[in-house]
Structure 1
Amino acid sequence: MSGFPRLAALAVLIKGGRVLLVQRKNPPDAGLWGFPGGHVEPGETALDAATRELAEETGVIAAPLAYLDNIDVILRDPDGRLRFHFLLAAVLCDHISGDPVAADDALAADWITVEDVLARHLPLSASVPELLSKALARLS
């Protein structure tokens, strides 16, 4: 199938015991909370894409610090046909300015306590608590 996998970047941003998450508007994770992010454009690094997507989805400005991890998201329909295949580059970012306001393809955007995310008190996209744990370890 042409066009797969698609490269996307996630912005992992922690400030004052809270992590910035967005509630997704579109499939494959519609209704779930996850890190802001989206497609990497041709000629753009995943580091730059993470901060661009963060600004587009939330209005928050940040600087990329480091890659955290890569995650494959592969979803198939009931007949086994490939629906989505994303390779997500998770990027640890440093907050520069702005308060989150949902925009672009986000239904909501908010600072969520680290404890609530790690305890899975929200419906979360795959790997959110694990990536948050890696980010916390990297920052300590």
Structure 2
Amino acid sequence: MTDITPAPPRRPILGALGVVCAHIEGEDCVILVKRKNPPNAGTWGFPGGHVELGETAAEAAARELFEETGVIAEPGAQLMTLDVIPRNADGSVGGQYFLVATLCHYMSGQPVPDDDALEARWVPVARIEDLGLELLDRVADLARMAQIARREESRVAPNAPIT
């Protein structure tokens, strides 16, 4: 008799996005990276990756931001969650990712591509869709959401430095 163990159920993978919004050279900007590896190689999005066992999504966001760009930031409020369900050519589900986007407060460093990033840079929120970058879905919306959240935080805490 052959012991046939069923394959473990396929489940969504938990990921984190580190969303930094800061005032750079007179404009509100976010840090974006151009992905080196699949999925989404060649497209621009926020630094991010898998949440490791024992790590919060916020901690993962700050870690991934540092690993991909060298920028140090303190994780703050959760901005949104995203369900990403890539489809195969035949329409079947090719995987599933549940991403937690965290607003990260810039502390130091300049974005330099590392880890799985081909490029990393500050991108002005007001012109994010006009720069010819191949953006992943919801990147522009999330950038504007981060801009609003950053401005709201500075309004609520007027003595806090605006980065």
User: Which residue of structure 2 aligns with residue 6 of structure 1?
Assistant: 13
Residue of 99, 107, 112 corresponding to 1:101? 112
Of 43-52 and 9-18, deviating more is 9-18
User: Which residue of structure 1 aligns with residue 161 of structure 2?
Assistant: none
Q: Deviations over 1:64-121 (max 9, x none)?
A: 1110000001011112332221111000010111111100000000111112214463
Residue 126 of structure 2 corresponds to residue 115 of structure 1: yes
Q: Distance in 1 between matches of 2:62 and 2:76?
A: 10
Q: Between Structure 1 and Structure 2, which shows a larger proportion of strand residues?
A: 1
Of 24-33 and 45-54, deviating more is 24-33
TM norm structure 1? 0.93
Give 1:4 deviation, angstroms: 2.5
Give 1:132 deviation, angstroms: 1.1
Q: Distance in 2 between matches of 1:3 and 1:41?
A: 18
Letter in 2 for 1:12: V
Runs of 4+ in 1 over 3 A off after TM superposition: 118-121
Q: Distance in 2 between matches of 1:139 and 1:118?
A: 20
User: Does the 8 Å CA contact 1:28/1:84 hold for their aligned counterparts?
Assistant: no
User: Which residue of structure 2 aligns with residue 68 of structure 1?
Assistant: 79
- Mark the runs of 5 or more structure 2 residues left unpaired by the alignment: 1-7, 152-163
User: Does the 8 Å CA contact 1:19/1:114 hold for their aligned counterparts?
Assistant: yes
Q: Distance in 1 between matches of 2:60 and 2:125?
A: 24
Give 1:130 deviation, angstroms: 1.0
Residue 144 of structure 2 corresponds to residue 133 of structure 1: yes
Letter in 2 for 1:60: V
User: Does the 8 Å CA contact 2:21/2:105 hold for their aligned counterparts?
Assistant: yes
- Secondary structure (helix, strand or coil) at the match of 2:127 reads helix
Larger Rg: 2
Q: Distance in 2 between matches of 1:28 and 1:84?
A: 10
Q: Distance in 1 between matches of 2:107 and 2:150?
A: 16
TM norm structure 2? 0.81
Of 110-119 and 22-31, deviating more is 110-119
The CA RMSD measured in Å over matched residues stands at 1.4
- Mark the runs of 5 or more structure 1 residues left unpaired by the alignment: none
Of 57-66 and 127-136, deviating more is 127-136
